[in-house]
Structure 1
Amino acid sequence: MVNSSHHLSALLICFAVTTAAGICQAADSPGETAAAVKRGEYLAIAADCSACHTAPRGKPFAGGLPISTPLGTIYSTNITPSADFGIGHYSEEEFSRALRRGVRRDGASLYPAMPYTSYAKFTEDDAHALYLYFTRAVKPVEQRWPSTELPFPMNIRASMMAWNLLFLDTAAFAPDPHQSAEWNRGAYLVQGAAHCGTCHTPRGFLMQEEASRALSGAQVGPWYAPNITSDPISGIGSWTKGDLVTYLRTGHLSGKAQAAGSMGEAVEHSFQHLAAADLDAIAAYIKSVPAVADPAADTSRFTAGKMSSELGQLRGRAAISSDSESDPSGAELFQGNCTSCHSAEGRGSRDGYYPSLFWNSATGAKNATNLIAAILYGVNRTTSGRQAFMPGFGGRTTDINALSDRDIAALGNYVLTHYGAADTAVTEQQVAEARRGGPSSPLLMVARGGMAAAAVIVFLGVALLAFRRRNSFA
């Protein structure tokens, strides 16, 4: 009789619980639930949820972060268990559908700025663990943020249904039996939770990831997520597995690269907190990614440039000055803004805190995007309690100390000429574009062109109709 009552109770509980797959399962024991919540917390860190869903000086996961995309600004949502403003009313099935299919509780489609195309790889168990963490361990925040209002026709969320049919792979991750357990773990994290392809894979005309060029580099707002394939020139084929692990844990690899922008956020909020075995697995998988070469790159971005002594030779001479007080020379700008940290020779500080300007991916790349963004927005990440900081010199339009587009172009060209990829140039137009948040998608331009064409057609149609009516009354 005791056993029968126990089974009846379990059955009743089972009936009340909906799983991510929509199948009734027995409720977890308290110990199993606690373990699942803990795993969900770890997965949320691996997925870097806080970086996008926490606004500056905001509460964790309360949303409100403006995200610049090629189609306009998207505001992250509140994913705390608030019943009025968050996901408090989401069932587990609805949560899983939003996480892995990009469909909200009300049936509207999410934009793939929320990387559900990668999160589709989550297993049922991990989606379950995430649900338990967000609904049971995260504190609700009663706060509403601006809703996303993309320009027409991008604001028609129903169009995402067609996009998903074309480009969303809904299959959960399946291990490759021909690869090691470490490789498979790395593939699961890179393709799923860490969603590396979201930033590092170039996108096609319809903003879909181009699988044939996976991880070969792409624009991310004003920054550029570089090629991280195994190509020794264009990618990171020259890095050892240990180099990659060090970079993921610290955001710094002496004489090669420093994490900034969204990669700096990923290091600070996600990678540095992952288990050593998972970092090893990620590195093992990325090192195996097929090489994709950039025909324009003939020298590794990590070995370009050299130490320069020109500024020291010019110091105190008229050659360092420009003819116009309102248009300082690149040398003047470098001396006034950069030498105190990076030295006149560009070798950085002796302890390596301030990196050298040669053998540096930001100055050695053929693409100067990250150099421009670093000057404009600076660098700010904290790992193991130690902050890596460089101030941004873009400032606000009302800041009299801010550098203009012309200044940043002049400074960038001076740095490239004397320390980095000397055959790369920075233009004022590139700086202005980065200041606006990065390039717009050609899809948006075509859509706007189509709207203009439609407006002209409607206008001509109305005019023709009016003309015919006028003639009919003549």
Structure 2
Amino acid sequence: MKRFLLVLLAIVIVVGGGLTWFVNRSPSSPFDTAAASIPASADLVQRGEMVARQADCVACHSTPDSKPFVGGLEMGTPLGSIFATNITPDRETGIGNYSLADFDRAVRHGVTPGGRRLYPAMPYPSYVKMTDDDVQALYAFFMNGVRPANQANRPSGIGWPLNMRWPLALWNAVFVDANTYVSKPQQDEQWNRGAYLVQGAGHCGACHTPRSVAMNEKASDETSSLFLSGALLDGWYAPSLRQDHNTGLGRWSEEDIFQFLKNGRNQHAVVFGSMTEAYNNSTQFMTDDDLRAISHYLKSLPGDPARDSSPWSDTTATSISAAGSNRTPGAQTYAARCSFCHGPDGKGQNQWIPPLAGAASSLIGHTDSQVNVTLNGSSRVVTAGVPDAYRMPPFREQLSDQQIADVLTYVRSTWGNRGSAVRAEDVKALREHTDPATSNPIILQMR
């Protein structure tokens, strides 16, 4: 018995020691042998600024009222709130003491110089695909193109023991593919550029790919039909970016996708929710060549016929007659509150006010996006520094839960739309969860 206990103790020591080594080890970096101070040319800093735009760093590491990159943005997680950190080159509260290797480990592996693991709200599972050159350019921008700001980081709202971060080392080992993007020789240069931007810096999968119970993205590239197939996140449903006819981009041309990313709108839709921040801070600043590469790549992703067994068509969309509308719950509310902008036929106003007839948000099973935008309105779409003149106003104070449920059910069952009905209790839940007075992270989160 004594010998058995000694053997068991030895096993525990060996396994425990191995686990401790595994958890505490820092990932290697190709910049480990680089000089502590690397000269940065103006061209390299400028290129790094574009990489920062592609990665939309400012959206998460700033708040509407703060200086750029000082952190403080509250983000909700199933465990509690966390706050984005200061990534200015301030030496006391920011990343001013980071070497290039330190920066690389934080961006592509989620590990800070002290060995602290970052929550994957920092999309390092996507950034790990970025090239060494892009990471070096990004570092040059943050160290030389961003003003340092002394602002302390806020502690997370996650309590003990769930705030222990060592399990993230195991999570990374299971769910993160720690390799940079590798070009597919069977695809052309434009396709590979688009794939690199979507999967890497653009981290599109962070919102548009469904997650498992472990909160990992279920797919990381086009080899899985789940990649970019749509996902519910923080009170918004990020729709499919695949060629799904009803719920994705199946009715969009490459030019439509390009115009949406370049201008924030096209004949099918106008950016809203979290995508507004992505447009305002990121996609409109990217080069036309990169936006066309993204469009080309997304157009190549096949849809799933099971999601669109009965494709929506404008020829099958029929308006309810005035007499019939009056007898339909929500129809009168739509006529009074919505039809002036979106039209009695739900077709909107060209590219300025989006259609509701045939919109992906009207055809998907999830109702969150439409409930959220009806309750809270949409943010201004800002192009070249100029806010647009049209936006969805909030109806939180004007309409009851039942009225919002009725009008959205009407929208989702008219003009050929076949979305699920909206329940008053669903509206109530989201109303409470997105109350601006509580500074809820859903309202504040920008990606």
Scaled to the shorter chain, the TM-score interval is: 0.7 to 0.9
Shift of 1:336: 4.0
**Structure 1: which 5+ residue stretches go unaligned?**
1-18, 322-328, 395-400, 439-474
**Residue 295 of structure 1: aligned partner:** 306
Alignment partners' CA distance in 2, 1:296 and 1:210:
17
Shift of 1:117: 0.5
- Which structure 1 residue ranges, 4+ long, deviate > 4 Å from structure 2? 25-29, 300-305
Query: Which residue, out of 244, 269, 285, partners 1:273?
Result: 285
The SS at the match of 1:252 is coil
Alignment partners' CA distance in 2, 1:76 and 1:26:
26
Shift of 1:111: 0.7
- 1:373-419 residue CA offsets vs partner (Å, 9 max, x unmatched): 2212222222243524112223xxxxxx3533333212211222334
Alignment partners' CA distance in 2, 1:136 and 1:300:
51
- 1:290-345 residue CA offsets vs partner (Å, 9 max, x unmatched): x242635334468598463545x589xxx579xxxxxxx62443344323322444
**Residue 373 of structure 2: aligned partner:** 374
**Structure 2: which 5+ residue stretches go unaligned?**
1-28, 435-447
Structure 2 counterparts to residues 78-227 of structure 1, below 5 A: 78-151=86-159, 153-211=161-219, 212=224, 213-227=226-240
Alignment partners' CA distance in 2, 1:382 and 1:302:
32
Contact 1:111-1:160 within 8 A present in 2 as well: yes
**Residue 342 of structure 2: aligned partner:** 342
Q: Give the aligned residue type for 1:308.
A: S
**Residue 12 of structure 1: aligned partner:** none
Indicate yes or no: 2:428 matched with 1:418: no
Shift of 1:121: 0.9
Shift of 1:88: 1.7
Contact 1:234-1:301 within 8 A present in 2 as well: no
Alignment partners' CA distance in 2, 1:122 and 1:302:
40
- Residues 101 and 174 (structure 1 numbering): CA distance in 2 closer, same or farther, change over 3 Å? same
**Residue 47 of structure 1: aligned partner:** 55
Identical counterparts, % of pairs: 38
**Residue 393 of structure 2: aligned partner:** 391
Shift of 1:180: 1.6
**Residue 308 of structure 1: aligned partner:** 319
Indicate yes or no: 2:436 matched with 1:404: no
- Residues 305 and 407 (structure 1 numbering): CA distance in 2 closer, same or farther, change over 3 Å? farther
Alignment partners' CA distance in 2, 1:123 and 1:347:
43
The SS at the match of 2:196 is helix
Alignment partners' CA distance in 2, 1:436 and 1:105:
39
The SS at the match of 2:278 is helix
Alignment partners' CA distance in 2, 1:165 and 1:218:
24
- Residues 24 and 355 (structure 1 numbering): CA distance in 2 closer, same or farther, change over 3 Å? closer
**Residue 77 of structure 1: aligned partner:** 85
* Structure (1 or 2) with the larger CA radius of gyration: 1
Alignment partners' CA distance in 2, 1:24 and 1:57:
37
Contact 1:216-1:229 within 8 A present in 2 as well: yes
- 1:74-123 residue CA offsets vs partner (Å, 9 max, x unmatched): 22111111222211222221111110000123211111111000111111
Shift of 1:430: 2.3
Alignment partners' CA distance in 2, 1:147 and 1:26:
29
Q: Give the aligned residue type for 1:228.
A: L
Alignment partners' CA distance in 1, 2:185 and 2:419:
47
Contact 2:270-2:351 within 8 A present in 1 as well: no
Indicate yes or no: 2:76 matched with 1:68: yes
Contact 1:68-1:437 within 8 A present in 2 as well: no
Shift of 1:367: 2.9
Contact 1:305-1:359 within 8 A present in 2 as well: no
Q: Which moved more, 1:74-83 or 1:141-150?
A: 141-150
**Residue 445 of structure 2: aligned partner:** none
The SS at the match of 1:135 is helix
Contact 1:233-1:293 within 8 A present in 2 as well: no
Alignment partners' CA distance in 2, 1:335 and 1:154:
49
Shift of 1:38: 0.7
Alignment partners' CA distance in 2, 1:406 and 1:84:
51
- Residues 63 and 299 (structure 1 numbering): CA distance in 2 closer, same or farther, change over 3 Å? farther
Tell me how many residue pairs correspond in the alignment.
Answer: 399
Contact 1:95-1:131 within 8 A present in 2 as well: yes
- 1:225-270 residue CA offsets vs partner (Å, 9 max, x unmatched): 111123445432332211111111122221x222211112111211
Alignment partners' CA distance in 1, 2:81 and 2:406:
29
Q: Give the aligned residue type for 2:102.
A: E
Q: Which moved more, 1:35-44 or 1:234-243?
A: 234-243
Alignment partners' CA distance in 1, 2:152 and 2:316:
49
Shift of 1:141: 1.9
Contact 1:45-1:273 within 8 A present in 2 as well: yes
Q: Which moved more, 1:50-59 or 1:83-92?
A: 83-92
Alignment partners' CA distance in 1, 2:140 and 2:400:
49
Q: Give the aligned residue type for 2:340.
A: S
The SS at the match of 2:82 is strand
Alignment partners' CA distance in 1, 2:34 and 2:72:
35
Contact 2:90-2:150 within 8 A present in 1 as well: yes
